[in-house]
Amino acid sequence: MGKGYWMWYSGDYEIYHVRELNLRRQEFGVDYPTFWHLSSPYVSIIFERSVVCDKTTTMTVTLNGKGYISVDNTKYTPDVPINLDAGVHKVSVTVFNTKGLPAAYVECDACPSGEGWMCGCRDGKLYDAGFDTAYDSKEKSPDVFPFEYKRLDPVKKEMLRDGELFDFGGETFGYLNVENKCDCEVLIVYGESREEALDPQNALLFEKISGKGLHRLRQRAFRWIYAIGGDVELTCDYEYLPLEQKGRFECDDELFNRIYETSVKTFWLNCREAFLDGIKRDRWVWSGDAYQSCRINSYLFADKKIEQRTAIGLVGKEPVVSHINTIVDYSLLWVIGLWEHYMTYGDIGFLSRSEHMLTKLMEFCLQRLDENGFIVGMDADWTFIDWADIDKTGAVCAEQMLLAAACDATARVYDLLGLDGGGYSKRSAELKKLINDKYWDKEKGAFIDSFSSGKRNVTRHANIFAVMYGIADGEQTKSILNNVLKNDEVPMITTPYFKGYELDVLAMLGEFGTVEDIIRSYWGGMISLGADTIWEEYDPTMTGTEHYGMYGMAYGKSLCHAWGAGSVYIFGRYYLGVRATAAGYGSFVVEPQLGGLGKIKGRVPVGDGFVDVELDKKRLCVLTDKAGGKVVFDGKEYDLVPGVGLEVRH
């Protein structure tokens, strides 16, 4: 039989699995679904194709759901061999499923399921069917995401007054297996920290089991388990995505190496059906977090599938009824991220498939403008930006900068796909001028948060975006550097989310000493407190268990948060210095920097290839297997030849 794969309506696999992921959150024993709109797969779909048979052959169709097969207008049931005589046949497969993902698997030498099949949702249109090569047998249900598993045992057990504390040696995620040796009730308390596990009254995650025997609990994140009552043995089936780590970095500073490896672990744990924000409390897919995750991923795994699953799952289907995650900035970051995804991977097919929802999302955003043409939060909209004291009165400056960047990104997508992007280019140019007119404060030498309140408040956030997205000119950028970024009187950022953006801008401006000071004090501060994954937020003025509190909960802070892994991006993008100058790294630049370090070494994935960089105070060595590369170093340029190492002494 020809090799087939489970197939579905294109995009529905991603929407289904991201929806299910978003519905698994639990706090304090209560299931807690998202507070935003979730799309679902189409319930009923049809697959079609013409089949040319050189000889009599057999076709067997298995459905994930119910339905029938039609061959030349004769209907057949699933899982029964159908004879196809030599000649041309019109084949269609109808499947419906109200509980899972409607999908079909076709075994046939002439027309195996997957490539070549078209699919529709009964709206009169047909598109290429979606499929994934991971689902290469009818036994592999498309309802089940293809994770891998590894059995873990506790590394330490400690008998306490009320129960037994199990330490698994580090943050993990998976199914906890509890062997209860007596016929009694046991309270299982999960903790990312020892303190959380030992505090049943305030711990976010717990579960009660009753009866003797083996109990397999739902997937959760934890390091410590406190079992109160009974006599139990524990194991964990660690659940993970089998990604290939393509990017690496090391240097002569052991703290930086530890921060890098801790960031890698943090990020990998949050790579699931889509990019999660945090694996313990939230377990939701957020567009702003995903934007940063895509940047990190591009220098670590360069796995475009997880980026695409995340993007499709976030934007969903028509109609667009709210901002993504209800957050104004997160809708705009989705648009900006779409273009950046194309630049990283050069997948014009994905860009083309995404254009429709891009258009619908931008149309929705442009319906929510004020009289100046600025985007504003309306009823049920959330202007987030960051967990910080930002003046969010009226039209907020940071949002307008994202809108301008989103218009630029949309114009580029349109132009590339042969559409007219001129309107978006014009809107972006007008918006940038208006931003400067309304928000630039000459006296403060910075962009203010809002002009509506009259407070003229300055924070780092809008000013960081101004540099990131090229809205500030040269003189303004110098002013922002001195008056904001290097000004301790401007409130410090406390989340790794915006710290990542801050490092991006500082490195862009060549301020590597400041970058290294921040990495040592901020990320190093968490490491010094025993963190083996990076936290959602870090405030060095806190002490003790204060570090674990957030959102009014004693242990509400995520201690394994994907946006904390931003150092991976910084080390790859600015120290190893690799960046794409054409889509999919059709051309690229290598411009490495030591900063204050003595030696750096690493690898960056570039398209379907790699770049190895090694730099110390005496020489630079670069090797790549991909054409189109250029080294910029010490004011000179050198062309890279695939397979031939370049050595420059300085």
Over residues 606-648, the pLDDT tens digits come to 999 999 999 999 999 999 999 999 999 999 999 999 999 999 9
- CB-based contacts of 560: which residues, under 8 Å, 6+ apart? 171, 192, 221, 266, 269, 270, 278, 279, 280, 533, 534, 535
pLDDT tens string 233-244: 999 999 999 999
Burial class (CB in 10 A: 0-12, 13-18, 19+), 27: middle
Burial class from Cβ neighbours inside 10 Å (0-12, 13-18, 19+) for residue 544 reads exposed
Q: How confident is the model at residue 462 (pLDDT cuts 50, 70, 90)?
A: very high
**Is the Cβ–Cβ distance between 329 and 384 less than 8 Å?**
yes
Task: Say yes or no to pLDDT of 2 above 70.
Answer: no
In CATH, what class is 328-383+389-490?
A: mainly alpha
**Chain segment 55-97, per-residue pLDDT in tens:** 999 999 999 999 999 999 999 999 999 999 999 999 999 999 9
Residue 1 has pLDDT above 80, yes or no: no
Q: What is the mean pLDDT of residues 3-17?
A: 96
pLDDT beyond 60 at 379: yes
Which among 262, 190, 255, 186 is positioned nearest to 222, based on CA atoms?
A: 190
CATH of span 7-131: 2.60.120.260
Please report which residue ranges of 320-396 form alpha helices under DSSP H.
Answer: 328-345, 348-366
Contacts of 206 (CB under 8 A, 6+ apart): 28, 29, 187, 188, 189, 190, 200
Q: What is the mean pLDDT of residues 513-517?
A: 97
Kindly report, residue by residue over 322-353, the tens digit of the pLDDT. 999 999 999 999 999 999 999 999 999 999 99
Per-residue model confidence as pLDDT tens digits over 248-294: 999 999 999 999 999 999 999 999 999 999 999 999 999 999 999 99
pLDDT, the chain, mean: 97
Whether the predicted pLDDT of 45 surpasses 70 = yes
List strands edge to edge, sheet with 118-120. Answer: 74-76, 66-71, 87-96, 44-53, 118-120, 127-128
Euclidean distance between CA atoms 517 and 531, whole angstroms: 19
Residue holding tokens 């109808």?
94
Mean pLDDT of 597-609: 97
**Four-point Cα dihedral 468, 407, 404, 289, nearest 10:** -50
Instruction: Choose which CATH entry (1.10.274.50, 2.60.120.260, 3.60.21.10, 1.10.8.50) describes domain 148-240.
Output: 2.60.120.260
- What the block records as the tokens of 176 is 């906890």
512-534: b (≥16 Cβ within 10 Å) or e = bebbbebbbebbbebeeeebbbb
Q: Do domains 7-131 and 328-383+389-490 have the same CATH topology?
A: no
Q: Does the pLDDT value for residue 3 go beyond 90? A: no
pLDDT band at 172 (very low <50, low <70, confident <90, very high): very high
Where along the chain do its domains lie?
A: 7-131, 148-240, 328-383+389-490, 578-649
What CA–CA distance (Å, rounded) separates 17 from 231?
Answer: 37
* Paired sense of beta strands 57-64 and 82-84, if any: antiparallel
Angle of helix 12-22 relative to helix 304-315, nearest 10 degrees, comes to 80
Q: What is the pTM of this model?
A: 0.97
Helix (H, G, I), strand (E, B) or coil at 241: coil
Q: Residue 647, SS3?
A: strand
Three-state DSSP at 223 gives: strand
CATH fold of 578-649: Maltose phosphorylase, domain 3 (2.60.420)
Q: Span 595-609, mean pLDDT?
A: 97
pLDDT at 230: 85
- Residues 566 and 249: their CA atoms lie apart, in Å, by 13
pLDDT in tens, 174-208: 999 999 999 999 999 999 999 999 999 999 999 99
